[in-house]
Amino acid sequence: MYCNQCGKTNADDAKICAYCGASLTGAPQGRRMVRRRSDKRIAGVAAGVAKYFGWNVTAVRVVWLLLVLFGGTGFLLYLILWAVMPLED
């Protein structure tokens, strides 16, 4: 069986890659947008968005604050994402 993570060949009945430890069964896992437990201030929404897109958390929080102050759409978006995004495992 071929590992999609490291490119090495493993035994046909292997469930985990012997070289990198990646799962060889099932569909490849995509990234998920989740609320962060470790780097949260209110609910972890901004930290989750920053982690998902690979952005700086402080920059996301500043942009979010500007959206709240100038238009109010940031507050509504934050509440929606708070309700919809699952909490990190």
pLDDT tens for the chain, 89 residues: list them.
777 777 788 888 888 888 888 777 765 556 788 888 787 788 888 888 988 888 899 999 999 899 889 887 888 888 999 999 888 87
pTM value? 0.62
59 Cβ neighbours under 8 A, 6+ residues apart:
50
Is 69 in contact with 16 (CB distance < 8 Å)?
no
Is 85 in contact with 48 (CB distance < 8 Å)?
yes
Is 33 in contact with 88 (CB distance < 8 Å)?
no
User: Domain extents for the chain?
Assistant: 1-29, 31-89
